[in-house]
Structure 1
Amino acid sequence: MEVLLLGTGSADGWPSPFCRCASCTTMGERGELRTPTSVLVDGRLWIDPGPEAARQALRAGVDLVDVDTVLVSHAHSDHLDPAFLLHRGWVSERPLTVFGPAPAIARCRDWLAPGQTAVRLVEVTAGDTVEAGPFRITVVPAAHEALGEAVLFRVDAAGSLLYGCDTGPWAPGALEAIGARRLDVVLLEQTFGDRLDLAGERHLGLATFADAVDALRSAGVVDAATQVVAVHLSHHNDPDVEQRLAALGAAVGRDGDRLRV
């Protein structure tokens, strides 16, 4: 399994184009630019097709022609820009299935041509398991609200991936839905650093990120060989966040990173 991180930032990215705080200034000087979080798995499965993800794919040297499955975690605009369906429809009639909770699927419908048959929209909810080509996809509840339900995804194929973005501390039933099988890669949001006053119950900061990873370790699904990577990073983090996450046994995601298992 190859996991390509198209984007690893929060909704406004890091640095924010509207901010000159020390964090944004430092990251800008370093040339580290993170766009909204999006992931491509094995060139076929695209998770969270946000507003910059398609261009990020091209910058990473890949296209999206072979994508036949899209997973949308929730309806917020940094995770779903449904215009990709229109743009794809201009050049391709290849079969495509889009899975997501009801609010996200509803946002997609208006971007499909009447009578088209190439794109199939499938509503899923927490607890569902679906098959898509070589991928077995488990839908996990998120501690997040996005015009209705938000979800996380476990993806099993040649390897195993947990995509945990956006969420606060594990929602009731989340660990049970993730299951007992070991994970090769965990992509987990870490939006707010030390600003837990902003994180609340809808996002993670450093302390709650650590708690979430510890819970996965206690459940036996994360071990020393699991690649744990923080995504959905914002300017509320300090530029030294890489060292702080390393102390927790986690890495910092960067746009364009490739993880192989």
Structure 2
Amino acid sequence: MAIALGHADQGRRLMEVLLLGTGAADGIPNLFCRCATCTDYRRRGELRTPTSVLVDGRLLVDPGPEAPRQVARLGRDLVGLAAILAGHAHDDHLDPAVLLHRSWVSQAPLDVVGPAPVIESSRPWLDPEQAAVTFTTVAAGQEFEVAGYRVTALPANHEAFGEALCYLIDDGASTLLYASDTGLLPEAAWALLEGRRADLVLLEETFGDRTEKGDHHLHLKTFAATVERLRSQGVVDATTRVVAVHLAHDNPPLAALRADLARCGAEALPDGTVIRL
């Protein structure tokens, strides 16, 4: 089912993906932990904040509570924001207060898109008269246009007060596969990815070496298996960049993590990294 939202931007030819954050809900280091990984990050002075992505300064994906400060710390703003896309309603992926704070200074049009729990959580933060903000509920399997991007909603293997989604985001020249949070993707997601190729894959890898913590997130083994299937299905090829996001302290220290990821052709990048496709 296709849904048209906003207006296409025909002039864009170079997608910019800004990794506002690359960590899990508690980030790295966890403030209550002195494990080897948290100690490694403190020693090096690196901080991973909850995963959030800004595409072309126009599309904000998974705006958690730290997203405004993530943007500010990188010297950016959200004045040109045209749409918010949230995969699910867990608070590290969606802080609807950003809509209230925006309403104090802007009445520019804004599309807020996500599964039903996202929209239900977001609406109360704005007066019904706030016509500048349009809320749209989407479900797995739907294709829609928002802010000049064609987006395919993929089912995630995750639970967040109801449906959770991953997204394939295409600007006509480049394609981003954003897959966080999810365990091993459902077969319905693989069917929707058939015949599609991505220039960049942002794939969650939460549990590191811990294989006993459930199947709603990936660990290093299921991450590698997912990358391999993406490659065998043609979604990932020799020119696709695969970046691990939603990293938690169950992962090994950074040097060891990078070696583990390199074995399946993936990488770990710091918060604030800009990727141009």
Above 0.5 in TM-score? yes
In the alignment, structure 2 segments of 5+ residues that lack a partner are 1-14
Distance in 2 separating the partners of 1:253 and 1:100:
26
CA RMSD of aligned residues (A): 0.9
How big is each residue's C-alpha offset from its partner over 1:149-189, in whole Å with a ceiling of 9 and x where there is no partner? 00000000031000000000011211112231211000000
Distance in 2 separating the partners of 1:100 and 1:119:
14
The residue correspondences of 1:73-84 to structure 2 (distance < 5 A) are 73-84=87-98
Distance in 2 separating the partners of 1:24 and 1:152:
28
2:200 corresponds to 1:185: yes
Query: What is the percentage of aligned positions where both structures have the same residue?
Result: 57
TM-superposed CA distance for 1:114, in Å, is 2.9
List, as ranges, runs of 4+ consecutive aligned residues in structure 1 with deviation greater than 3 Å: none
For 2:207, give the aligned amino acid: F
2:269 corresponds to 1:250: no
2:200 corresponds to 1:167: no
The residue aligned with 1:30 is 44
Distance in 1 separating the partners of 2:193 and 2:106:
34
How big is each residue's C-alpha offset from its partner over 1:51-74, in whole Å with a ceiling of 9 and x where there is no partner? 101111111121111111110000
Q: 1:89 aligns with which of 103, 110, 114?
A: 103
The residue aligned with 2:17 is 3
TM-score, normalising length: structure 2? 0.92
Distance in 1 separating the partners of 2:147 and 2:106:
19
Distance in 2 separating the partners of 1:91 and 1:230:
35
In the alignment, structure 1 segments of 5+ residues that lack a partner are none
Distance in 2 separating the partners of 1:173 and 1:62:
37
Distance in 2 separating the partners of 1:83 and 1:18:
26
The residue aligned with 2:9 is none
Length, aligned pairs only: 260
2:247 corresponds to 1:238: no
The residue aligned with 1:133 is 147
The residue aligned with 2:211 is 196
Distance in 2 separating the partners of 1:46 and 1:253:
19
How big is each residue's C-alpha offset from its partner over 1:184-211, in whole Å with a ceiling of 9 and x where there is no partner? 000000001110101x210000000000
CA contact (8 A) 1:138 1:178 kept: no
